[in-house]
Structure 1
Amino acid sequence: MSILQTRPDLGSPQPYTFPKPRRLRVGNGNVVAIDVPGQQYAAVRLVQPAGGAAEPPDRMGVAALTGEVLEDGIHGNSSLAPALERHGAEWVSRVTWDSFVTGVDAPVNRISEATSLFAEAVRRPALLRDDVLRRRDQLVEQFWLEASMPSTLATRAVGGQLFSGRYATPLSGGPVRLNDVTPEMVADFHSRNIANVAGTLVVVGDLANVDLEKLGTTVFGDAESAPEASVTPPEPAPGEVPRVLLIDRPDSVQSALVLAHRAPSRSEVDLPKADGISDVLGGMFTSRLNLELRENLGYTYGAGSRFDLRRDSGVFLVSTQVERDATAHSITASIAETEKLQSGGVTAAELEAVRESNTVGMPVTYSTARSLASALVEMVVHDLPDDYVDRMRAGFERITADDLGQAARQYLRPEEFVVIVVGDAQHLQQPLRDTGIGPVTVREPDSLWG
C-alpha cells in the first residue's frame, strides 16, 4: 500500500486586502492599530520624525547613537533587555534617515507591562556617561568591522559620491564624526527630539482585550505634538558624472561593485513602476543583470538593483561582486544592460514575473504582526494613505509593458552613474580607465569620511 498521495492542483491566487487600521488621537500623539484575531504576539512601535537627515554637521551620528543608548534603560548598563525578558518581550530600535523608531514585541497578555517599560526607556532613560561612551565605541568598532566587507564598504561610499551635506556621511556618522559626539550631545538630542515629542504609536496584534487609549497615554504622557518635518532636497556632490571611485584593497582577488545615481524622493515616484523596472534589471533571479553577469558570463554568484527612497531624495543602486580580472567588463556590461532595457523595453515574460512577484506572495508578506507593523510605520513616515498596500497591489496588477518601458527611461540614468569599486588598485586602475566611463579616483578606506 502506497502512502504517497497525489499532489493537489494549485488553485488561483486569492486576492489580498490589507487590514484597515484603526486611528485615534491620544493626548498629543496618534495611535494607529490593526486588530489581528488570534495573533497573540503583538508589535508595538513608536515613530518619531528625528532621523539622521536633520543632524547638524557637528553631530553626525547622534540619532543612531541615541537609539543604541536607549537600550540601557532607566537604570543604565543594559538594564532594559532583562526587564523586558521577564514579560517575554523584546526591544526594537531602528533609526533611518527620516525616522526614529523604537518599540517592543510582546505577548498580548503582557503588552501593558512591556509597553510601560518601553515608554520609560524612551522618555526617561538614564543616559549615563559611561553607557554613552561604551555604545559609541561599539558603534565605531562595528562600523569598521562591517566595512571590512568590500560590498558594505562600497555601499557606504555611495553617499559621498552623490550628495553634499549630511548624506555624504553614513547614517551612523562614520568613525570620525561619531567620535566627536559627546554624552551631552546625546542628552540634548534626546531632550529635543525624543523625550518631549509624542509621535505616532503603531500597535498590531490580537487587540480584543487591549486598551489602546491607555497604551497611548502610557507612551505619550504629556509630550508635545511632533513638529512638521521639513523637506529640503540635498545638493549634489561636486564633480562630473559618470565617474569611478576606486577604493584600494591591496591584493584582493575580488572586487565589490556599486553603480549608483540620484533618484527622486519617495513622494515623486510611481512605486510599482519604479520597483517593477528595478526588478527586471536586477531585483529578481531572472533579472537582466543576473542572467548576463552570472549565467552568460560566469562572473558572479549574483547581481542586484534597488531604489533607496527618502522623503527628500533617493538613490538607485546596482551591486555585485566579481573576480578582479572581470571588474571592468562587469561594469560596462551592467551599463549596457541598463541602456538596452531603456531602448528595448521589457518582454511579456518579464512583465508577468514583475506582476506575480509583487502580488502573489502578499498574504505571506503580511502574515505577522511585525510585517504589518512595518507597513504601518512606512505609512506614517511617508504620509501614505491607509489603503497604500492595496494601491500598490493594484498598481502591479494593472502595470503594462509600456509602463515599465517608460519607467526605464524615466527612473534609470546610466549616463549619471557613479561607479564605486572596492578592489586592488594596482591591478584595476588602468582597466577602469580603459573603459572610458569617466575619471578614476583612487582612495584609501580610512580617508573616505575624514
Structure 2
Amino acid sequence: MLQTRPVSGAPKPYTFPKPQRLRVGGGTVLAIDVPGQQFAAVRLVQPSGGITEPLDRMGVATLTGESLEDGVTGDSSLAPALERHGAEWVARVTWDSFVTGVDAPISRIADATKLFAEAVRTPALRPDDVLRRRDQLLERFWLEASMASTLATRAIGGQLFTGRYATPLNGGPVRLQSVTPELVADFHSHSVAAVAGTLVVVGDLTGVDLAELGATVFGDASDVPAPTPSAPDSAPGELPRIVVLDRPGSVQSALILAHRAPSRSEIDLPRADGMSDVLGGMFTSRLNNELRERLGYTYGVGCRFDLRRDSGVFLVSTQVEAPTTAHSITATLAQIEKLQADGVTDAELSAVRESNTVGLPVTYSTARSLAAALVESVVHDLPEDHVDRLRAGFERVTADDLTQAARDYLHPRESVVIVAGDASQIEGELREVGHGPVVVHDPETLWA
C-alpha cells in the first residue's frame, strides 16, 4: 500500500559544534566531542606544505607524505598494522599544509594513534621504498596527465605564477626525478618530525584522554609557526592570452579559464562563493545552462576559487567537442560579462542561500567532515566558529552583494585560457576569438 509522501518542514538552524582546545607540549589539541559517533577522525596538521619547499627540492613534501605509509619497518607496513585495529591511514599534502592521520574506532583510538604517530615521527624511510614511491608518483603523473582535463589544470600554475607555484605540487616529472631519499630524509627531519603541529580529534570522546593522545603524537617536537604569507609574482606574458596544449587527434578540448584571485584571508567567501555558484558552481548555473542545456556542447561545466594563504586562483573548467572550442570560450566570456552587467536575480540568490545553508547538518554529519572543517581553520588561521560565520554570511547576502562580487572578483581580461586539444583543428578559430595571442605548446615540454 502506497504511503503519503511526507511534507517537508522548515529547515532547522545549524550551529557548528564548539571545539575543545588544550595545549600539550609543543602542540595544540583541537577536539569535537560527538556523542554516539564511534568512528573517530584524527588529523595532525603541520605547516610543511609545498610552498615551503626550496626550488631545488620541488616535490619533496608530496614524496615524503607518500613514503610515510611504508611505516616504521618499511615495505608498506603501516596499512596492515592499522587494519588490525580497524583503522585507515590518511595523508594529504597541500600547498599550505602537511596533513596526516587515521580514521579509527573510538575503542581502538589509542592504539591506532600510536601507530600513526610512530609513522610520522620515526618512519623507516628506506631508500628502496622512497625510490619505489617516487617511481609510482612519476608513473601516476603521466597517467593522470593523459586526461586532457588534468593536463590543463596542471598547467594553470605556470601561466599565472612564477616561483614554486609555476610547477605542480608534486614537483612535476623533471623536478621530482631529482628528489633523492637523502632529501626526503632531510625534509622529514626538519619539517615533519621536529614540528609539533595541531592535532584534530573528532568522535565520541567519552573516556578519551586527549592530553595523552597529544603527548603520543607530539612527543618532544617543537612549536613551529606557519610561514608568513607573501604574494607570489605573476608569470610573464601578455594578458589575456590563449595557451593550447597540443594533443593531436583529440576529438574533445578541455578548457580552463583562469586568473589570479585574493588569498583565503582577503576574500569575502559568502559573496565570492555565492557569485561562483550563480556563474558555474551549481547544476542550475548560467554556464551549465548555456553550454550544456542550450548549446549542447558539454556534459557539464563548473567554476570555483582555489584559495591559499598567500594568493588564490579563480577558474572555469569544462570539456567540449573540438569543433565547438572557440565558441565555448566566447560563450563563457559572454556569460561573465552578462553577469557583471545585469546582476543576479532573486531566484539565483534563493538558490545560493539554500545550497549553502539548508544542507549543513548533512555536510557536517560525519567525523571526517567535522575534522576537515577544523583542519581548514588551522591551516588558514580561521576562528573556531568560521562555519557559523559562513552560514550567517550566506543568510544575509543580497543579490546586489553577489553582483558586486562578480565585478570585484571576475577579471576575464586578466585571464589565461588553457586549451588541451588538437591544435591543428582549433588554432585558427582560437585566433579569431579576440582573447589575446594564441600560443601552442607540446605538453611534454611544460615542466622541463
Render the CA deviation track for 1:224-283: whole Å, top value 9, x for unaligned.
112342211100000010001100000111100000000000000000000000000000
Render the CA deviation track for 1:36-80: whole Å, top value 9, x for unaligned.
000000000000000001211110000000000000000000000
Partner of 1:244: 242
The separation in 1 between residues aligned to 2:411 and 2:352, in whole angstroms, is 21
Alignment of 1:363-402 (within 5 A): 363-402=361-400
Partner of 2:189: 191
The separation in 2 between residues aligned to 1:404 and 1:119, in whole angstroms, is 45
The separation in 2 between residues aligned to 1:194 and 1:305, in whole angstroms, is 34
The separation in 1 between residues aligned to 2:224 and 2:146, in whole angstroms, is 38
The separation in 2 between residues aligned to 1:134 and 1:246, in whole angstroms, is 33
The separation in 1 between residues aligned to 2:271 and 2:154, in whole angstroms, is 26
Amino acid at match of 1:120: E
Partner of 2:70: 72
Alignment of 1:343-362 (within 5 A): 343-362=341-360
Choose from 411, 414, 426 the match for 1:413.
411
Partner of 2:326: 328
Render the CA deviation track for 1:74-94: whole Å, top value 9, x for unaligned.
000000000000000000000
Partner of 2:3: 5
Q: Secondary structure at the match of 1:97?
A: coil
The separation in 1 between residues aligned to 2:226 and 2:177, in whole angstroms, is 30
Partner of 1:307: 305
After TM superposition, give the deviation of residue 413 of structure 1 in Å: 0.6
After TM superposition, give the deviation of residue 326 of structure 1 in Å: 0.2
The separation in 2 between residues aligned to 1:396 and 1:226, in whole angstroms, is 35
Render the CA deviation track for 1:161-201: whole Å, top value 9, x for unaligned.
00001000000000111001000100000001000110000
Q: Secondary structure at the match of 1:190?
A: helix
Partner of 1:83: 81
Partner of 1:204: 202
Alignment of 1:283-294 (within 5 A): 283-294=281-292
Q: Secondary structure at the match of 2:236?
A: coil
* Structure 1 position 234 matched with structure 2 position 249: no
Partner of 1:143: 141
The separation in 2 between residues aligned to 1:435 and 1:387, in whole angstroms, is 46
The separation in 1 between residues aligned to 2:299 and 2:311, in whole angstroms, is 31
The separation in 1 between residues aligned to 2:320 and 2:115, in whole angstroms, is 47
Amino acid at match of 2:279: L
Partner of 2:159: 161
Amino acid at match of 1:441: V
Partner of 1:37: 35
TM-score by length of structure 2 reads: 1.00
The separation in 2 between residues aligned to 1:396 and 1:264, in whole angstroms, is 19
Partner of 1:261: 259
After TM superposition, give the deviation of residue 436 of structure 1 in Å: 1.4
* Unmatched tracts of structure 2, length 5 or more: none
The separation in 2 between residues aligned to 1:210 and 1:38, in whole angstroms, is 13
After TM superposition, give the deviation of residue 417 of structure 1 in Å: 1.4
The separation in 1 between residues aligned to 2:123 and 2:272, in whole angstroms, is 41
The separation in 2 between residues aligned to 1:217 and 1:88, in whole angstroms, is 22
Q: Secondary structure at the match of 2:265?
A: helix
Q: Secondary structure at the match of 1:379?
A: helix
The separation in 2 between residues aligned to 1:147 and 1:212, in whole angstroms, is 43
Q: Secondary structure at the match of 1:421?
A: strand
After TM superposition, give the deviation of residue 5 of structure 1 in Å: 1.0
After TM superposition, give the deviation of residue 316 of structure 1 in Å: 0.2
After TM superposition, give the deviation of residue 97 of structure 1 in Å: 0.1
The separation in 1 between residues aligned to 2:300 and 2:352, in whole angstroms, is 18
Render the CA deviation track for 1:385-410: whole Å, top value 9, x for unaligned.
11100000000000000100110000
TM-score by length of structure 1 reads: 0.99
Render the CA deviation track for 1:207-235: whole Å, top value 9, x for unaligned.
01100000000000010112342211100
After TM superposition, give the deviation of residue 27 of structure 1 in Å: 0.4
Partner of 1:276: 274
The separation in 2 between residues aligned to 1:228 and 1:294, in whole angstroms, is 43
After TM superposition, give the deviation of residue 121 of structure 1 in Å: 0.2
Choose from 292, 299, 319 the match for 2:317.
319
Q: Secondary structure at the match of 1:266?
A: coil
Identity %: 75
Alignment of 1:177-188 (within 5 A): 177-188=175-186
Q: Which structure 1 residue ranges, 4+ long, deviate > 3 Å from structure 2? A: none
The separation in 2 between residues aligned to 1:12 and 1:259, in whole angstroms, is 39
Partner of 1:58: 56
* Structure 1 position 130 matched with structure 2 position 128: yes
Q: Secondary structure at the match of 1:222?
A: coil
Amino acid at match of 1:158: I
Amino acid at match of 1:221: G
The separation in 2 between residues aligned to 1:257 and 1:229, in whole angstroms, is 34
Render the CA deviation track for 1:146-174: whole Å, top value 9, x for unaligned.
11100010000000000001000000000
The separation in 2 between residues aligned to 1:14 and 1:149, in whole angstroms, is 42
Q: Secondary structure at the match of 1:245?
A: strand
* Structure 1 position 403 matched with structure 2 position 397: no
Q: Secondary structure at the match of 1:58?
A: helix
Alignment RMSD, CA only?
A: 0.5
Render the CA deviation track for 1:337-375: whole Å, top value 9, x for unaligned.
001101111011100000000000000000000000000
Alignment of 1:96-115 (within 5 A): 96-115=94-113
Q: Secondary structure at the match of 2:95?
A: coil
The separation in 2 between residues aligned to 1:385 and 1:230, in whole angstroms, is 18
The separation in 2 between residues aligned to 1:286 and 1:6, in whole angstroms, is 29
* Unmatched tracts of structure 1, length 5 or more: none
Amino acid at match of 1:438: G
